[in-house]
A and B are shown apart, each in its own frame.
Chain A
Amino acid sequence: MQPAKKSIEEEEEETHCNAMAVMIRALYCTAGAGMEELLAEEVQHKLCATQVEQIPGRVFFCSNADLQTVTQLKSAERLFILLSKGEPLSLPNNPGVNEQEFTVLIVVGDPDIWRQTFLTWTALQQELQCSQQRGQKRKREDEEESLHTPSFRVSCRCSGVIARSYTSQVNVYLSDDHCIVGIPLLKHPLSSRSYMKHNGLRSTIAWAMSSLCPKKLNDCVILDPMCGVGAVLLEAAQEYSNAVFLGMDTDLSQLQKAAENIKASGMEGRVQLLQSSAMEIPLADGAVDAVLCDVPFGRKFSCSSDMPTALPRLLREMERVLRVGGHLVLLLSLQLSAQLKKTICTHEHNQNVNSLDTNNLHTDPSNTHNESTDTPKPLMFHKSSSEMSNSPLLISSLQAQRTHKVSLGSTDAFIHTYTKIKTQTL
């Protein structure tokens, strides 16, 4: 498919870029399930986007932000320029009408819109090259030529040699509720980060974890006690330039990959690594301002225990190193989330502390503001773990903030956020 040839004036690339910078463009991004709300917030916050609209898997918006800024979005998958968005197709009842031709007619729509969008797309490609190739040699003539008269393929999925012979593609999405046509702006999804040499947790989800933290993490000490290759830490490090990040893992090979990722992202000054266990964190009580953790989903945790058994102990350690007022953000499978709810039983109204009763290990009924009488009284921590082996470990100092469901592709998960509060315990 070739757009109608229009005489394009010979302009300096610089002027063209400047002109494009103030135009408002209609764009959209695909997003993983559960990420749409976060992406909608991100485009409003970072791009001053207007006309923001979400549907499952996609967020539409208008923005005049320069393309370089748009490509910095952290919760999006792919970025597209919008051609049209409309009501779902309903095929005509008249059997005489050729269904295929009809579909093409409706999807294609107004040729003028196509012409205009192609021009915008071409200009955006030039803008991208402007910002990427400043100071470098001018592109080869044939590459420039292909930009002025781009050829497009229309397909559902296309890869390999044949895909590379086309400049770009048109993406058509037809569902029961929508009919959407767009052109991707970049070859690679935004979610594939240039600074991650080794991939771990999906970058968009990793970013969501620090984004969902109740308070901004500027000037904070942030710990990930099961950091793996460092995805969560590095996404947070991109957002908060004035924070210190500490990553721990028992696995040296994972830490080595994390070290390479840290180097690739230029974060060596601010992200430090340790080989240690999340069950015994070598930090003092209340040492960190935030704990972000993607808890492994697998049933096997260590040689001596599986994850559901280990979870309460892990939570206890994470709670211990958190300062009062600090935040905990956890990514857990559905199954572990249920386990989490059984372990953390902070009462809604248990926020007031009269005085720390250091002699009394158990809650004194006359001091608590506990209003529910049928839930079991929470056990406070005993310093020696041997006494706890028979009774279930319960945590009452973590106040639940919110729970956000996300899709990890093949499975669903929850991001839980908590704030540590003061309790009447030693």
Chain B
Amino acid sequence: MKLLTHNMLTSHVQGVIKGYPLIIKATEVKVNELEFSAPFVSRMIPKLEWSLISALNCTLIPDYEKDEEFLRKVHRILLEVEVVEGCLQCPESGREFPISKGVPNMLLIEDE
């Protein structure tokens, strides 16, 4: 699971009001090299919930479109870092969703 995906995921356990953001508990993390595209990254930035990224010591700067070093840093965080094994925890209910081989399992059982 990449951090870009995590930025969008929310817990939908019944009754939960604020299931976002999910708490990441990683047991295995990988960093893959991925082709960088500056226009792609700069267009994704406005769509993100930036508080999750700034929590990783990455402050949003003004005029980021022209700052390639900044965009590369964001690219690395969002697309190159991958949680391979671990789980995501709902901040309200505590329910844990496992991540296996990079794919988070968000399935709920019948009565959740």
Contact = CB atoms under 8 A, between A and B. Distances in A.
Given A242-B39, A242-B40, A242-B43, A272 B10 contact: no
7 contacts: A219-B44, A242-B37, A269-B79, A277-B107, A282-B12, A287-B8, A287-B10
Contacts of B2: 272
Given A283-B8, A284-B10, A269 B35 contact: yes
Given A276-B104, A280-B106, A282-B9, 4 more contacts: A259-B102, A269-B34, A269-B35, A275-B103
Interface in A251-273: 252, 255, 259, 268-270, 272-273
A223 to B, nearest CB: 9
A149 interface: no
Given A259-B103, A269-B34, A276-B106, A282 B5 contact: no
Interface of B: 1-2, 4-5, 8-12, 20, 32, 34-35, 37, 39-40, 43-44, 47, 79, 102-108, 110
B94 to A, nearest CB: 16
A274 B107 CA distance: 9
Contact of A282 (B11, B35, B44, B47): B11
Contact of A274 (B5, B12, B35): B5
B19 to A, nearest CB: 8
Nearest to B98: A275
A280 to B, nearest CB: 5
Contacts of B8: 221, 246, 283-284, 287
A242 B43 CA distance: 8
Given A219-B43, A242-B39, A242-B40, A284 B20 contact: yes
A250 B107 contact: yes
Nearest to A250: B107
Contacts of A277: 106-108
CB-CB nearest 3 A-B residue pairs: A276-B106, A219-B43, A275-B105
A202 B36 CA distance: 31
A52 interface: no
B65 to A, nearest CB: 13
Contacts of A255: 103
A246 B5 contact: yes
Contacts of B20: 284
Contacts of A274: 1, 5, 9, 103-104, 106
